[in-house]
């Protein structure tokens, strides 16, 4: 077990602690089959946000990889952005880190705040996004790969916990400020499901292909019905 993995597990623990502080954990029936040794799935709800989900696949011993996905959706009467954070790491480096405050179709001060924070990242590079991603991610989206330098790792670690804390502390302030953004949230989920890398990464971590398909469709990005 390496320092990178230890630090990422500490981010996982920080995220869980923040959700415990701000929300109430629920147990979705569809999620039960995907909670098992080496695969953690936990969901919270609160008056401040509609749904927060953390998904961790710990394949350090079997595949030499560790992955975490986190997504927080605002209530449908709240124009706040969607918080998204994904990271996958090998023994010696973070192979991919993606983070965004994604619009629900309305301007929002947290998106402006996120843009200012991202500009502080010295290593941030613009990258060409596929069509499905351009439809949902902001122009400030963080996308990093092959991160192993200590100062870059420090920025990724600090950014993730700081930005989640800001989001959870402020998201409820605009509850009731829009009529209904459920279509925008479903549009986000529909396009996230078009990401071909998600099933590839999850199956490469040793998860069953059919389990991954059902998980992505019904649990990772469940539609509002």
Looking at residue 144, its pLDDT comes to: 84
Q: Please, which residues bridge with residue 73 across strands? A: 51
CA–CA distance, 9 with 63 (Å, rounded to integer): 17
Looking at residue 124, its pLDDT comes to: 57
Residue 38 tokens, joined: 């080496």
Q: What digits encode the pLDDT tens for the residues 161-173?
A: 999 999 999 999 9
- Nearest CA-CA partner of 74 in 163, 160, 216, 184: 184
Looking at residue 167, its pLDDT comes to: 98
The parts of the chain modelled with pLDDT lower than 70 are 1-2, 122-127
Burial of 225 (0-12, 13-18, 19+ CB in 10 A): exposed
Looking at residue 50, its pLDDT comes to: 98
- Nearest CA-CA partner of 27 in 39, 43, 14: 43
Write the CATH number of the domain with boundaries 3-220: 3.40.1500.20
CA–CA distance, 222 with 185 (Å, rounded to integer): 10
């Amino acid at each position: 077990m390496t320092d990178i993995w230890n630090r990422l597990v500490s981010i996982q623990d920080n995220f869980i602690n923040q959700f415990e502080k701000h929300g109430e954990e629920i147990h979705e029936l569809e999620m039960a089959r995907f909670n098992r040794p080496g695969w953690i799935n936990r969901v919270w709800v609160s008056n401040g946000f509609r749904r927060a989900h953390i998904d961790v696949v710990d394949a350090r011993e079997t595949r030499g990889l560790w992955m975490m996905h986190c997504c927080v959706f605002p209530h449908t009467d709240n124009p706040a952005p969607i918080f998204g954070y994904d990271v996958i790491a090998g023994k010696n480096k973070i192979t991919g880190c993606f983070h965004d405050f994604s619009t629900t179709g309305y301007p929002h001060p947290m998106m402006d705040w996120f843009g200012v924070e991202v500009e502080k990242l010295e290593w941030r590079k613009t990258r060409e996004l596929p069509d499905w991603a351009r439809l949902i991610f902001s122009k400030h989206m963080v996308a990093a790969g092959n991160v192993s330098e200590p100062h870059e790792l420090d920025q990724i670690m600090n950014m993730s916990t700081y930005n989640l804390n800001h989001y959870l502390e402020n998201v409820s302030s605009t509850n009731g400020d829009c009529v209904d953004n459920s279509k925008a949230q479903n549009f986000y989920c529909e396009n996230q499901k078009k990401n071909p890398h998600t099933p590839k990464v999850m199956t490469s971590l040793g998860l069953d292909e059919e389990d991954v398909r059902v998980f992505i469709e019904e649990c990772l990005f469940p539609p509002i019905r």
